[in-house]
Every structure is written in C-alpha cells, then in structure tokens.
C-alpha cells in the first residue's frame, strides 16, 4: 500500500524521482525520469541506477541542462530527486553569499571590537584614543550603510522598480556637489572639475545622476595611487550620432585595467585582483549600478584604461541626453 500511495503522489510530478533498493537497483521511476532518459518505465525494475546517473556526484549534465541530485533515505529504500539548476544563477548566488558575507563581517567585526575595547577599558583611554575608536566605528557603520544602499539599488534595478523622474539638470552644480561629498572622504586626493562654457543641461533623474557621479568619483579615488588626482571633464559630445548628448569623463591615476577585464568590471560583485584593490574596501557593486542607471536614463558608458606607467589609469565616460526642447517633449509623451 505504501508503494502505491507513493506512486500516486509522484507519478505526475515535473520533478524527476527514482527509488532504489540498497543495492542501487531501481524499484520505481516516475514518468519524468523515463522521459528524460528516453526509456520505458515498465522495463526499469531491477536495472542499476548508475546506468543512468554518475555515482557519487551531486550534479549531472543531461541534454545541455545541469541537474542537481538529491538523495533521501528511509528504512525501505532510497529516493533520488533530480532538479534542473541554472549554473550561471548558482554561481551568481554563490558569489553573492560569499561577497556579502565578507563585506558584512569585516565592518561588524571592527565595530564590535572597538566597542568592546571602549566598554572594558573606557577609564584607561585618553580623549585622543576615544575619538579615534569612535571615528573607526562611524566609518565602518557608513561602510555598512553604503553596502545596504547598493544592495537595495540592485534589487530595485533587477525587478524594474527604479522610478525615474526626469528634469533638466545643471551638470556643473551636481558634479560640484558630488565632489564636495568625496573630498571629505578622500582628503589626500585632489579633485578637479574642467567644464566647457557652453555645456547644455541634461535630461536625467537628478537623484540617480548624483548616485552615478558619486559612485564614479568614489571608484576613481579609491583605485588611484596615493595622492593621485581625479579629474572630471565635461563637454558637449562630439561623437558621431550622439551630438545631442553631454560627455562626462572621470579620470583617475591608478593601476589601470587589463583589456580582458574591461567588460568584467561592470558585472555584479566583480573585483579585479591587483595590489590597489587588495588594499581597498569594496563590494564590486558600484560600476554595475552605474552602468544600469546610466542606460536606464538613456545614456551610454565607455571606459579606456592603461596599465603602463607612468601614465597608467582609467577614464570612465558617461554620455547623457541633453535637455533640448525635443528631448523633453519626447520624454513628456513617454511618461503619459
């Protein structure tokens, strides 16, 4: 009776199920299993399971799909379940867990460590030490906040919930504001803004544009050599077919990016291994967010880089639509 009930439950499941005895001989297989292996279910009894799937493996590749193998035992037999997995999504998920776990653990460990030190030895610390410890706690708290904000940005981008409010934006004032924010964070890096006199306003979401610029400037300062300058150049685009766009270039003086890594840097959680990235904190989310937001606002992003000293470094260029009468009219019609 138990066997009949089991068959009734699993026979029409899309999940692939096979039951075997403790000699790994097949006792039962549902329709999905037989269909996958192009075999007749009536002729399976007594055949060996490992004639179909590899022994001791967690996954198997069948007909261009990867299946995860899960085993469940009971007192009578063993059940094997096969489920399709998306290997790329599995890798992304694994990278996500690994990266976020590390990025959360590091600042939390610092916060707890310095907080414990202050609690246990407060009466032995002088004012300078207390200020130093509180400053570290604040910096690590800000790091956590930034990570959470980036993760929230990604979740909104992926589920298409990034609501954009377009308006004509003055490029100069917005970039000056972003530079002001980053100057306090990177006091050893000079920031310079070079902007042409006739630059047009751009048609973007003001808050998202500010987020793009802060991420680009933060990236440039973070991966520049000690005291390396960060230069922002703004001009009306002279690129073919993009004359009604404004070009914003962010130049750093860092180690540069190898050609094979040019596309990788825009992937989620991607960090290029070199001596500068090993010394800096980062989750590998900033450039992914930048690219996603730039393209959502109708813009383009490009990167040029050199790893050859003494002129090594990278230039990220973003192009945004100019706020012309035509572009604003088109956007107003799209929003209706």
Query: Is residue 250 scored above 90 in pLDDT?
Result: yes
Q: State the pLDDT at residue 278.
A: 46
Query: Is residue 270 scored above 70 in pLDDT?
Result: no
pTM score of the predicted model: 0.58
- Decide: helix, strand or coil at residue 76: coil
The dihedral built from the CA positions of residue 155, 171, 174 and 250, taken in this order, carries a sign that is positive
- The rounded percent of the chain whose pLDDT value lies above 90 is 26
Strands (E), 25-137: 26-29, 59-62, 65-73, 78-85
> Helices (H) and strands (E) in the chain — how many of each?
9, 12
Per-residue pLDDT tens for 17-54?
Answer: 888 998 899 988 888 888 888 888 888 878 999 999 98
Domains and CATH numbers, the chain: 2-85 (3.30.450.20), 88-158 (1.10.287.130), 166-335 (3.30.565.10)
Per-residue pLDDT tens for 182-227?
Answer: 888 888 899 999 999 899 999 999 988 998 998 899 889 988 888 8
Q: State the pLDDT at residue 44.
A: 85
Chain position carrying tokens 């055949």:
47
Q: Is residue 75 left, alpha or beta, with left meaning phi > 0 and alpha meaning psi from -120 to 50? A: alpha
- Angstrom CA distances, 10 to 14, 73, 248, 266, 301, stand at 9, 16, 59, 44, 51
Q: State the pLDDT at residue 251.
A: 95
The pLDDT confidence band at residue 7, using thresholds 50, 70 and 90, is low
Query: Is residue 275 scored above 70 in pLDDT?
Result: no
**Mean pLDDT confidence for 284-304:** 88
Query: Is residue 3 scored above 50 in pLDDT?
Result: no
């Amino acid at each position: 009776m138990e066997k009949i009930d089991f068959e009734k439950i699993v026979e029409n499941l899309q999940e692939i199920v096979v039951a075997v005895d403790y000699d790994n001989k097949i006792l039962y297989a549902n329709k999905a299993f037989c269909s996958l292996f192009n075999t007749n279910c009536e002729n399976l009894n007594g055949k060996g399971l490992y004639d179909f799937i590899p022994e001791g493996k967690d996954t198997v590749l069948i007909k261009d799909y990867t299946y995860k193998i899960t085993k469940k035992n009971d007192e009578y037999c063993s059940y094997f379940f096969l489920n399709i997995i998306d290997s790329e999504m599995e890798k992304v998920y694994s990278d996500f867990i690994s990266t976020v776990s590390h990025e959360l653990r590091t600042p939390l460990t610092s916060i707890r460590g310095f907080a414990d030190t202050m609690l246990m030895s407060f009466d032995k610390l002088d004012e300078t030490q207390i200020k130093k410890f509180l400053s570290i706690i604040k910096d690590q708290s800000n790091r956590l906040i930034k990570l959470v904000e980036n993760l929230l940005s990604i979740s909104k981008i992926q589920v298409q919930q990034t609501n954009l409010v377009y308006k004509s934006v003055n490029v100069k004032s917005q970039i000056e504001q972003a530079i002001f924010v980053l100057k306090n964070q990177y006091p050893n890096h000079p920031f310079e803004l070079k902007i042409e006199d006739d630059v047009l306003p751009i048609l973007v979401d003001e808050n998202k544009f500010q987020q793009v610029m802060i991420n680009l400037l933060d990236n440039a300062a973070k991966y520049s050599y000690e005291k390396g300058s960060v230069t922002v150049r703004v001009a009306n685009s002279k690129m073919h077919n993009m004359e009604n766009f404004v070009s914003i270039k962010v130049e750093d003086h860092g180690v540069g990016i190898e050609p094979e890594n040019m596309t990788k840097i825009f992937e989620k959680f991607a960090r290029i291994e070199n001596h500068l990235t090993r010394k800096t904190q980062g989750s590998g989310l900033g450039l992914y967010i930048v690219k996603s937001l730039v393209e959502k606002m109708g813009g383009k992003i490009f990167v040029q880089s050199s790893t050859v000293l003494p002129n090594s470094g990278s230039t990220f260029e973003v192009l945004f639509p100019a706020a012309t009468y035509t572009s604003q009219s088109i956007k107003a019609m799209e929003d209706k």
